[in-house]
Structures are given as C-alpha cells and as structure tokens.
Amino acid sequence: MSDTSIDMSLPAHIGDALAGISTATLTTVLLKKGLRNVWMRGTKPLRAGQPRLVGRAFTLRFVPAREDLATPASWSSPISTRAAIEAMPAGCIAVVDAMGVTDAGIFGDILCARMAKRGVAGLVTDGVVRDLAGVLDSGLPVWCQGAAAPPSVAGLTFVAWQQPIGCGGVAVFPGDVVVVDQDGAVLIPADLLDEVVALSLEQERLEGWIMGRIEAGEQLPGLYPPNEDNLRRYRQDTGQS
C-alpha cells in the first residue's frame, strides 16, 4: 500500500462551510476553474434522506476478477477489504473504484457495520453493495448503484487502498475532498480546496440574492446570470459596494 500517513482531517471552518454548499454549486464553481469531470457517475443515495457528507477520500481499488486471486480465501489476505477498513480513520469517506460493476457487491452488512463503528462518515462507489437490508440497518450512509447478491469475488479482485483510483469516471487521489448529497458525489482536488470553498460561498450568496429577486417576480434575462446592473444591485444589497 502507499503512504497512509496523510492527514485526513478537515479544518472545522472548511467542513462547516462545505456542509452548507450544494454539489450543484460546487460543480459550477469547479467548471469555472476548468474542471468538468468531478461528479462521480453512478453514486446514488442508497436511502432517501441521507445527510449531506463532507470528508477526505480514503480510496480503495478493485480490478477485474482473476480466478486465482478472487476467491473467498482472499478475504483473509493482508491485502483485503477487511484490512483496508481497519486502516480507515474516523471522518473519512471511503471512495471505492468498482469499475462500475453492478453484479457483484463490494461490501455487505458486516463490513458496513464495522465502518460505521470506526466512525467512517460514508461509502461512495460506482459499484453496488450486498445484504441490502443489513447495510441499511448498519447506519452507514452509502452512495452506489444499488444492490446485488453475489460477493465481490464473483466479479472483482481487490488490490489496493490509499492509491489513486477512478470512481464513476473521476480521478480520485487519497486526501481529496468529497461532498455528497442527494445529487451524488463531487470531488474537490485537495490543492484547490480553500479557493473552491471561498468561491462557492460567494456563489451561494449570489444565488440566494437571485432567488429573492425571483420570488419578488423579477424576470430571468439579465438576472440569472446577472448582468453588470444586477451585479451592482447585489453588491449594494449585500454591503459589498
């Protein structure tokens, strides 16, 4: 495995800020920064009403199943999902590259219960889980493509944790920040975190002002997006002029 000593904590003010910023706003801000591919395809909330999550990515990677490696005996290997779970720090979000495979469940109820016990914030994957009722009972928030009865070794081989992965077509590096809500999972590159948060807070304030104008009956052209006159009004109304 690669270095797992990376600091997985988030400054309190960053976590608090991101807890109030939608993934829709984040994708808009990241698009303006030139990053178009940040939304992880297939990451759907397993249960309606799951809380918005913010955390650093703890990555896990599967490759296609190979019969000599993808066996039930591999679950006891030093390189296993079990060992990876025991390395997960509290507050992280487990982000799993399952290659979009939907006929082999990467985690079941026992593994999800252990993750919840360790304080893992949630699980995000482009694959599926198994033991659906038990996973829901574990209390671990999960974003995935659904459920399937077969175990992971029926279609996948687990190979690594805390390495760069691709999840839902998005490059995810250990320590990148993940925000997840009802629209799915969005990645913020670690090096851009402070700038993206600042820009997103401003975007949310602006859109809140625009919504107020919409509720007052104003028309969209020139308001959304705002032209110079409306930007001037916004700055005056918010005390930025």
> 157: which residues sit within 8 A by CB, 6+ positions away?
62, 63, 64, 65, 66, 69, 70, 74
With a pLDDT cut of 90, the percent of the chain lying above it is: 89
Write down the mean pLDDT value for the chain: 94
CA atoms of 179 and 164, how far apart (whole Å): 18
pLDDT at 70: 65
Q: Could you tell me if 160 and 7 are in contact, meaning their C-beta atoms sit under 8 angstroms apart?
A: no
pLDDT at 126: 98
Q: Is the pLDDT of residue 3 over 60?
A: no
3-state secondary structure of 218: coil
Within the chain, which residue ranges are assigned CATH 3.50.30.40?
Answer: 12-190
pTM > 0.85: yes
| 3-state helix vs strand vs coil in the chain, percent to 5 | 35, 25, 40
pLDDT at 1: 47
pLDDT, tens digit, for every residue of 44-72?
Answer: 999 999 999 999 999 999 999 988 876 77
pLDDT at 6: 53
The CATH number given to 12-190 is 3.50.30.40
Q: Could you tell me if 65 and 156 are in contact, meaning their C-beta atoms sit under 8 angstroms apart?
A: yes
Omega within 30 of 0 (cis) for the link into 225: yes
To which H or E segment does residue 113 belong?
helix 109-117
**44-45 vs 177-181, strand pairing mode:** unpaired
pLDDT, tens digit, for every residue of 168-221?
Answer: 999 999 999 999 999 999 999 999 999 999 999 999 999 999 999 999 999 999
Q: Is 94 exposed, middle or buried (0-12, 13-18, 19+ CB in 10 A)?
A: buried
User: Which whole number is the average pLDDT over 231-241?
Assistant: 91
3-state secondary structure of 187: strand
User: Which whole number is the average pLDDT over 86-111?
Assistant: 97
Largest CA distance in the chain: 68
